[in-house]
Structure 1
Amino acid sequence: MSETEAPQDVLPVLVVGAGPVGLTAALALRSHGLPVVLLEAEPEDRVRPGSRALFVHRESLQLLGRISPGLDRTLVDHGVVWPTRRTVYRGREVFARTYPPRTPSADFVPPFTSLRQVETERHLLAACLRAGVRFRWGTPVRGVRAFEDAVEVDTERGPLRARYVIGADGARSSVRRSQEITMEGDRSEAFHVVVDIQEDADDPMPLERVFTYEHPGLGGRSVMRVPFAGGFQLDVQCKDDDTPEDWADEAAVRRWVPRVVPAKYAERVLWVSRYHFLHLVADRFADAHRRVLLVGEASHLFPPFGARGMNSGIADSVAAADSVAEALNTPGRRLRAVDEFALLRREAALFNSDAARTALDHLRPKRRLTRLRQAAGAALAPVLPSCGEWLERAPYGPRNGARTNPRGRY
């Protein structure tokens, strides 16, 4: 008898957390024909401000299209694919590339789509409802106890039992803490400021992603502008002695925005946030009984440069769902299926953490030699295009090299 034939009061699987990663896990489980209950601490009408994760990469789109046919196309149609990327060094362009438009087709998946995370979540939620995922909103999880044959989940609305739990409940994960799984790594004390700005539809900015090293209008602070559907995001790298009051306060933001983009956008600010560079990875991605699996920010925290967070979480979730489905249907492979998930996704997380650290070393060089290399690269870019290409790619860290789940690079 397979584990899917469990007693009626024992669910096959519970997902904790209704962010994009938890919603993906629920969709992936439904693609295997498994009944899914998703627990979310917040109410159904919660408000999720800000753009948060902007990019859904091609690999993630392909995974989402696999578990929910048509979802990839929905996200592409509601996002934007900017055709131009530019890099500027101290006010002088050192790299620019514009990709020719491609005729849309059913089998073409663009390299990414850019839309606010709240919109990505909206489409994921709609797909989950169509797929028959059952939601329990306003149900905080207080603790999880794993046993050899099942998991007990203590919620504020009563206990639940399941064969497996996928923890997608974010950086402060109660699922992770209940298993005494620790996060290992470090955090940069310096911060970046992120600002969402509504586009002026009558006179929009060029549809291009621009990274500027040592922007002269911001006292040598680097800044990136990234379009998303309906607006764009500014990400400013603050200096070590900067204070949030001078840069991350909304009034302060309105003062410096006109130094980067036309002054009218100072009155179109939608959201302001700040973040530190985090390099944290869980020491284990599953509990000792292989009944609790961690995905997304419950298991790793990366800086947003390189768009590794949500995209790696999507790959985590699909891999976790595949492992749970295999474990439920083939009990003899139960331990191996979960162990493979935990090993491969932790390897991917460690790679992403190291790649983000490489990006940080470039963005915040501690050695004078690194700054000299950047200045030399900028000087040589007009005659050696490879130097401009290096300056363009380096702020995001390497993307290849991890031995990850074959179903998803991240």
Structure 2
Amino acid sequence: MDPLPQETIRRKRDGQTLSPPEITRFIRGLTNGEVSEGQAAAFAMAVWFKGMSQAETVALTLAMRDSGAILDWRDLDRPVVDKHSTGGVGDNVSLALAPVAAACGLAVPMISGRGLGHTGGTLDKLESIAGYTIAPPEALFRRTVRETGCAIIGQTADLAPADRRLYAIRDVTATVDSLPLITASILSKKLAAGLNALVLDVKVGNGAFMTTMTEAETLARSLAGIAGGAGLAASALVTDMNQPLADAAGNAVEVASAIALLRGDETGTRLERTVITLAAEMILLAGLEMNSAAAAARARAALASGAAAEVFARMVHRLGGPPDLLERPEAHLPRAPAIRTVHASQSGYLSACDTRALGLAVIELGGGRTRPDQPIDHRVGFDRLPPLGTWVDKGTEIGRAHAASEAMADHAAERLAALYRISGEPPPPVAGVLAHITA
């Protein structure tokens, strides 16, 4: 006889280890409605307090994966690989990374999400593009991946529905930051996407959810270990988020930044280095190259030759966007009615940035949400942001604020200027990858 949901909750509340069948039954009940919202909330809180072993977390991940459809890509003649980022400010990597990886011979069916907290969301950025559909029919999604090598869309209703229901409950019960629940939520969706391999980009710093290396490495080990336990080849890179990753933070402005990278206008930037590093890791995991130098060279060639740009253009057009977005982004991306240049208040090096506050400033402009049902203004944000370590003279441009009104632009410009610290000494250099963790 199957245990009652309340018995499963009691056992976890008391710190006992749940068996895989017991976890599977509970998640099945969550999916079909036999488990109530109150019971799901109690379960989440019990896990938050008592944690889960690796075996329990693997079982939870697989149960949530199996709660809906699982994509099958066996008809493709290339490895199926994806990347997941834990979220940051100015993190538009996916927009360029998926086409680079596809141009290198991978298939990238990228299931992305919306903004969370102070961080931006890939889907919100893509909705800046006129006509682009983030929820295509499955046939169109599959055809786009088959014909172009990649497609970036949102989670469909039949992929890991248990995760969608449990996450909504966690969001309102202060249980989002449970390591086993975070891990199972991320990986269940990726496993349902039918991947052969997964690269995890775990951000750390004042603009990330994980603000210390200890927190970031703990999450990275959990993600890589549980992925391996679930049969998915994976590795996790811990990367810096103490400044915006791109030179923009917002939605349309980040799309414009990614297009500039694909067109060859952002060479030598932190964004380019991050895209190459992650693409190389995807190539290595897929077995297309045998060492990181060869993998990175392959990724650079795809970017420098324009092959990645062509993939991006085809993907956008197949999914309803304009065919000439790369050639004329200004014609298809919305432009804010008020734009203010922000000037340095003194001479010196840009030595620090309050990156979390920068993300919150985008939300205050209307570029993010304070409620799940809230519409956003894709036009607003900040761009032309120089990297830390840049020497600026007093009066030098250190960014632009894009806003819906003149008054909002003035306020945002003042806010941006206050978020950077300028000093007489440059900040210490930061490695591109702070830690590399494999399953």
| Both structures adopt the same fold (TM-score exceeding 0.5) | no
Higher strand share: 1
| Superposition TM-score, scaled by structure 2 size | 0.25
| Superposition TM-score, scaled by structure 1 size | 0.26
Higher helix share: 2
